[in-house]
């Protein structure tokens, strides 16, 4: 009895092996027939794309050639995969390798999906005419499995292309911002900025009017290292667009630099972006007319960031021009000349009585009565002159912060007089 059971088992095993061998022979014969139909399928695929896809007909001959090459590669890859799916498991992903890098720039992902769909439909409709009826169901089922893998492969290709473009855009953006900071902005920088979507104009709520092209540079500390640089830049650009302005963003060591375009109220914009910076001061440079002039704003913002620790109670953000005394003390020659020319200079106009009044007021510790006694004038005359000095300089002597600025400006003006535009110290 045991001998008969063993014999039946061996017979069943031999039958299964013969059946598998027959199936393999039939599969290889089917694959060979499919291999012979590759040329006809490739020709039919190109014809189907030309007939059903209007955008395909509008492409140049070279672009159509690239796409036809990809379609042909996909059909050939399908045949190889059909021969032995295990040996060619990566074939769907590799089918796009025959296309140049520009392929992803020629057609969109949506158009690629249309291309794959059209090719698959063409194969399904054609195999019945070029293959025996028994082959059609098996090949059709294989096509459906393969099409799914091709769809994932296409998504991978476009995702990689998007990552490469994102990395390149980030490097290009950093180059533009660096050129602005170093004062090397020229037509090439403007062209590169345009490639990044920079228009320099805005009709948002913070624009000054039609064709607004004001630019301001903002500098602050970089966020913590665990906040991805790319994510910070993307968040800044997105937030700026929400407020109707352009933004270029770059990390430079331990500082974050933002170039805002299309607004004459950059402080209001930066107040909404303050959480993107690290702890510490945020300095907004003065508004300039365009990107080519942005070095002036950048220079003031960088100098302001360096000098900001001298004013612990400064607002956040703070304008660079509000830090003129601190900047001048930290060695910023531009701030020194600005204080001497724009604050000290107007006080010297005429008989210099305003300069004398402000100087005596500051030297008496801010006492109007003491100033009046020293100058032998009425206290109301002192008040009038102080008010007039505030109007022409923008700094009121009766305000403690403004008084500090005026004191520094008077000292610098006397050092630089009579030529307030000469090189400083």
Instruction: Give the tens place of pLDDT for each residue, 150-174.
Output: 767 666 666 655 555 555 566 777 7
Q: Which CATH number fits domain 196-325: 3.55.50.30, 2.60.40.10, 3.30.70.2730, 3.40.50.720?
A: 3.30.70.2730
Note the pLDDT of residue 420. Answer: 43
Q: Give the lowest-confidence range in 20-34, 239-253, 274-288, 367-381.
A: 20-34
Other Cβ atoms within 10 Å of 311 Cβ, number: 17
Mean pLDDT of 392-415: 95
For residues 121 and 299, what is the distance between their CA atoms, to the nearest angstrom? Answer: 62
Does the pLDDT of residue 194 top 50, yes or no? yes
Does the pTM of the predicted model rise above 0.85? no
Note the pLDDT of residue 44. Answer: 82
Note the pLDDT of residue 205. Answer: 47
CB 232 within 8 A of CB 173: no
- Which CATH superfamily includes the segment(s) 333-416? PucR C-terminal helix-turn-helix domain (1.10.10.2840)
For residues 24 and 218, what is the distance between their CA atoms, to the nearest angstrom? Answer: 70
Note the pLDDT of residue 204. Answer: 47
Does the pLDDT of residue 397 top 90, yes or no? yes
Does the pLDDT of residue 213 top 50, yes or no? yes
Mean pLDDT of 271-280: 89
pLDDT digits (tens, 9 = 90+) for 19-54: 777 767 777 787 788 788 778 878 888 888 888 888
What is the percentage of the chain residues whose pLDDT exceeds 90? Answer: 33
Using omega within 30 degrees of 0 as the cis cutoff, is the peptide bond preceding 194 cis?
A: no
Three-state SS string over the chain comes to CHHHHHHHHHHHHHHHHHHHHHHHHHHHHHHHHHHHCHHHHHHHHHHHHHHHCHHHHCCCHHHHHHHHHHHHHHHHHHHHHHHCCCCCCCHHHHHHHHCCCCHHHHCCHHHHHHHHHHHHHHHHHHHHHHCCCCHHHHHHHHHHHHHHHHHHHHHHHHHHHHHHHHHHHHHHHHHHHHHHHCCCCCHHHHHHHHHCCCCCCCCCCCCCCCCCCCEEEEEEECCCCCCCHHHHHHHHHHHHHHCCCEEEEEEECCEEEEEEECCCCHHHHHHHHHHHCCCCCEEECCCECCHHHHHHHHHHHHHHHHHHHHCCCCCCCEEHHHHHHHHHHCCCHHHHHHHHHHHHHHHCCCCCHHHHHHHHHHHCCCCHHHHHHHHCCCHHHHHHHHHHHHHHHCCCCCCHHHHHHHHHHHHHHHHHCCCCCCCCC
Q: Which residue has the higher pLDDT, 8 or 363?
A: 363
**57 — pLDDT class (breaks 50, 70, 90):** confident
Does the pLDDT of residue 206 top 50, yes or no? no
Q: Which residue has the higher pLDDT, 425 or 235?
A: 235
Domain(s) labelled CATH 1.10.10.2840 in the chain stretch across 333-416
Q: Which residue has the higher pLDDT, 397 or 88?
A: 397
Does the pLDDT of residue 293 top 60, yes or no? yes
Helices 135-181, 2-36: crossing angle, 10 deg rounding: 60
Distances 7 to 4, 14, 20, 234 between C-alpha atoms, Å: 5, 11, 20, 73
Note the pLDDT of residue 179. Answer: 79
CA dihedral 278, 280, 285, 287 (to 10 degrees): 70
Domain(s) labelled CATH 3.30.70.2730 in the chain stretch across 196-325
Query: Could you tell me whether strands 282-284 and 246-252 are parallel, antiparallel, or unpaired per DSSP bridges?
Result: unpaired
Note the pLDDT of residue 398. Answer: 95
């Amino acid at each position: 009895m045991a001998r008969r059971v063993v014999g039946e088992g061996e017979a069943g095993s031999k039958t299964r092996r013969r059946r598998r061998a027959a199936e393999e022979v039939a599969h290889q014969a089917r694959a060979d027939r499919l291999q012979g139909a590759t040329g006809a399928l490739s020709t039919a695929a190109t014809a189907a794309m030309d007939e059903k896809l209007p955008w395909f007909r509008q492409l140049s001959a070279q672009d159509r050639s690239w796409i036809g090459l990809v379609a042909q590669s996909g059909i050939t890859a399908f045949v190889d995969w059909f021969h032995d799916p295990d040996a060619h498991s990566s074939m769907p992903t590799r089918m796009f390798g025959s296309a140049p890098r520009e392929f992803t720039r020629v057609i969109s992902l949506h158009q690629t999906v249309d291309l794959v769909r059209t090719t698959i439909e063409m194969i399904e409709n054609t195999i019945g005419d070029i293959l025996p009826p028994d082959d059609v169901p098996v090949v059709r089922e294989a096509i459906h499995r393969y099409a799914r893998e091709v769809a994932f492969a296409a998504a991978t290709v476009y995702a990689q292309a998007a990552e490469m473009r994102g990395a390149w855009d980030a490097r290009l953006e950093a180059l533009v911002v660096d050129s602005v900071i170093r004062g090397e902005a020229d037509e090439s920088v403007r062209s590169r900025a345009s490639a990044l979507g920079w228009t320099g104009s805005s009709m948002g709520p913070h624009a000054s009017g039609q064709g607004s092209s004001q630019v301001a540079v903002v500098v602050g500390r970089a966020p913590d290292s665990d906040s991805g640089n790319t994510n910070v830049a993307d968040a800044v650009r997105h937030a700026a667009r929400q407020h109707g302005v352009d933004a270029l963003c770059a990390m430079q060591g331990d500082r974050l630099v933002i170039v805002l375009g299309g607004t004459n109220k950059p402080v209001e914009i930066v107040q909404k972006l303050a959480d993107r910076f690290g702890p510490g001061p945020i300095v907004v440079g003065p508004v300039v007319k365009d990107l080519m002039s942005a070095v002036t704003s950048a220079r003031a913002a960088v100098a302001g960031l360096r000098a900001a620790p001298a004013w612990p109670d400064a607002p956040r953000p703070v304008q660079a021009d509000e830090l003129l005394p601190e900047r001048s003390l930290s060695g910023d020659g531009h701030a020194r000349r600005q204080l001497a020319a724009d604050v000290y200079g107007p006080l010297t106009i005429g008989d210099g009585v305003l300069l004398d009044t402000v100087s005596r007021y500051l030297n008496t510790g801010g006492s109007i009565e003491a100033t009046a006694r020293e100058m032998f004038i009425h206290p109301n005359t002192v008040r009038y002159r102080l008010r007039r000095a505030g109007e022409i300089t923008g700094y009121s002597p009766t305000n403690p912060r403004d008084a500090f600025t005026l004191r520094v400006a008077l000292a610098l003006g006397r050092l630089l007089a009579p030529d307030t535009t000469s090189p400083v110290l």
